[in-house]
């Protein structure tokens, strides 16, 4: 049933026994099986939807945001929301909790897993930290983590705890409190402190470390903090390909280097541009600031091809549990043409190609079966949620993992 190009390690062999209202199996009954969602996290940022969720838009801006939101819901099941400290709490003691809660509910009500990004980062951090001593900065940072993780528990239980810690203590573009704290505590110390604060605030939270620096420095840091007993639920890997597509070989090498830790991998930030590539000699992508960076027809065709190759490579590795696209429309970070939609919220070829992959090739088409004498139907499908419809009664089942899976379902009126 599942297309042959779906990786075998993603497929579950499902045996679902369907019981009647009083308990006996429903034998010889026709059943329609319809996939509802993936268990694998196909994610995207939701920054552009935050004002829409809070009723702050009108006119063309609202229409574009509604268009972006509709395309978001059609394709993705996990969202990253912005908790950059400088914007979230520009004035100490006045966090933007209400707006972010509204946005988180907006996506949760559409069935998405919601992640907050980030709890600790030297860039876009609170400017008022600079007037503090190192001890005061540490107290404020850890209190900030405890507050957000506690306030959003049950709504946001997945967090990028610390972002780009490899460069954090040596960052020299401008003074900021978090670089000073990283120097005082060391990389391992600041990771341990921030993860401990988040874990204590919500023991059930799912906590990530995240970085763009994929050198051996990141590997050594992960090895050191794991050896020190810090529990990291996920290793986050960024791949902003503004300077050109990495290719399957490079991506596969990175996958193997970080999969060796036995910790799940999330590809947390992915971009591929549909215009001219950023010059290769640029070291810090933020140094490339241009007012006009257009998408082109040839670039859009190339982007579509490279997006599909990138997702196939990642989905094909068993350690990867999530892929997040960074910015659904064009013109977001660095004004780059790296969206899957154009600036007006209309699909580019890459969006349509990715939809055909996620909701086509890696999606079980509606399938009609008949229960056997024991009331069972058997089918192969990717891990996810399925509707089983038997006449006018419906059961929803969740397949948590690939491989052999036995489920008992009792349909009800639906």
The predicted structure's pLDDT at residue 3: 57
Would you place residue 411 in the very low, low, confident or very high pLDDT band (cuts 50, 70, 90)? confident
pLDDT digits (tens, 9 = 90+) for 158-175: 999 999 999 999 999 999
Identify whether residues 286 and 388 lie together within a single domain.
no
pTM for the structure as a whole: 0.96
Identify whether residues 233 and 379 lie together within a single domain.
no
- What CATH number has the domain bearing residue 223? 3.20.20.80
- Overall domain count for the chain: 2
Interatomic CA distance for residues 336 and 289, integer angstroms: 9
Identify whether residues 280 and 397 lie together within a single domain.
no
Q: What is the mean pLDDT of residues 283-294?
A: 90
Residue 196 vs residues 112, 161, 192, 211, 227: alpha-carbon distances, Å? 26, 10, 6, 19, 15
pLDDT digits (tens, 9 = 90+) for 106-152: 999 999 999 999 999 999 999 999 999 999 999 999 999 999 999 99
Residue 35 resides in a domain: no
pLDDT digits (tens, 9 = 90+) for 173-200: 999 999 999 999 999 999 999 999 999 9
- What CATH number has the domain bearing residue 382? 2.60.40.1120
Residue 179 resides in a domain: yes
Residues 6+ apart with CB under 8 A from 349: 300, 301, 303, 304
Residue 325 resides in a domain: yes
Residue 181 resides in a domain: yes
Q: Is 196 helix (H, G, I), strand (E, B) or coil?
A: helix
* Lookup: tokens for 79: 């969202």
Residue 366 resides in a domain: no
> Which residues, in sequence order, are bridge partners of residue 35?
386
Identify whether residues 288 and 351 lie together within a single domain.
yes
Residue 82 resides in a domain: yes
Residue 329 resides in a domain: yes
The predicted structure's pLDDT at residue 394: 93
Give DSSP secondary structure letters for 205-233.
-EEEEEES--SHHHHHHHHHHHHTT---S
Identify whether residues 115 and 165 lie together within a single domain.
yes
Identify whether residues 82 and 192 lie together within a single domain.
yes
Residue 142 resides in a domain: yes
The predicted structure's pLDDT at residue 1: 60
Confidence check: pLDDT of 274 > 70: yes
Domain extent for 12: 8-29+371-413
Identify whether residues 139 and 44 lie together within a single domain.
yes
What is the Rg, in whole angstroms, of the alpha carbon atoms belonging to the chain? 23
Tell me the backbone φ, ψ of residue 47, rounded to 5 degrees: -60, -40
Identify whether residues 74 and 14 lie together within a single domain.
no
Identify whether residues 77 and 55 lie together within a single domain.
yes
The predicted structure's pLDDT at residue 206: 98
Identify whether residues 247 and 388 lie together within a single domain.
no
When the pLDDT of each residue in the chain is averaged and rounded to a whole number, the result is 96
């Amino acid at each position: 049933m599942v297309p042959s190009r779906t990786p075998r390690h993603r497929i579950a062999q499902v045996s679902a026994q369907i019981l009647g209202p009083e308990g006996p199996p429903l034998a010889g009954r026709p059943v329609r099986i319809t996939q509802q969602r993936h268990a694998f996290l196909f994610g995207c940022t939701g920054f552009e939807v935050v004002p829409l969720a809070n009723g702050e838009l009108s006119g063309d801006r609202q229409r574009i945001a509604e268009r972006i939101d509709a395309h978001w819901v059609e394709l993705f099941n996990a969202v990253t929301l912005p908790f950059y400290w400088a914007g979230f709490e520009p004035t100490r003691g006045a966090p933007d909790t209400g707006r972010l809660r509204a946005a988180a509910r907006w996506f949760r009500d559409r069935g998405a897993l919601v992640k907050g990004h980030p709890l600790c980062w030297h860039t876009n951090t609170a400017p008022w930290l600079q007037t503090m001593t190192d001890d005061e900065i540490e107290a404020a940072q850890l209190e900030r983590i405890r507050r957000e993780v506690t306030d959003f528990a049950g709504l946001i239980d997945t967090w990028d705890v610390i972002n780009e810690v490899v460069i954090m203590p040596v960052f020299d573009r401008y003074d900021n409190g978090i670089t000073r704290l990283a120097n005082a505590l060391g990389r391992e110390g600041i990771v341990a402190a921030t993860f401990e604060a988040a874990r204590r605030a919500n023991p059930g939270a799912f906590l990530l470390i995240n970085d763009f620096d994929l050198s051996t420095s990141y590997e050594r840091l992960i090895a050191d903090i794991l050896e020190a007993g810090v529990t990291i639920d996920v290793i986050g890997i960024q791949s902003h390909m503004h300077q050109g597509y990495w290719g399957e070989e490079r991506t596969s090498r990175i996958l193997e280097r970080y999969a060796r830790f036995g910790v799940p991998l999330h590809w947390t930030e992915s971009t591929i541009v549909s215009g001219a590539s950023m010059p290769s000699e640029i070291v810090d992508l933020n140094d490339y600031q241009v007012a006009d960076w257009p998408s082109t027809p040839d670039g859009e065709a190339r982007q579509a091809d490279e997006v599909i190759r990138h997702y196939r490579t990642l989905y094909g590795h068993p350690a990867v549990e999530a892929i997040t696209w960074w910015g659904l429309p064009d013109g977001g970070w660095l004004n780059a043409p790296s969206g899957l939609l154009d600036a007006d919220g209309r699909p580019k070829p890459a969006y349509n190609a990715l939809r055909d992959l996620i909701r086509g090739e890696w999606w079980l088409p509606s399938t009609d079966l008949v229960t056997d004498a024991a009331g069972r139907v058997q089918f192969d499908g990717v891990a996810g949620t399925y509707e089983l419809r038997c006449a006018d009664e419906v059961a929803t089942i969740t397949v948590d993992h690939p491989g052999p899976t036995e489920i008992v379902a009792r349909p009800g009126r639906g």
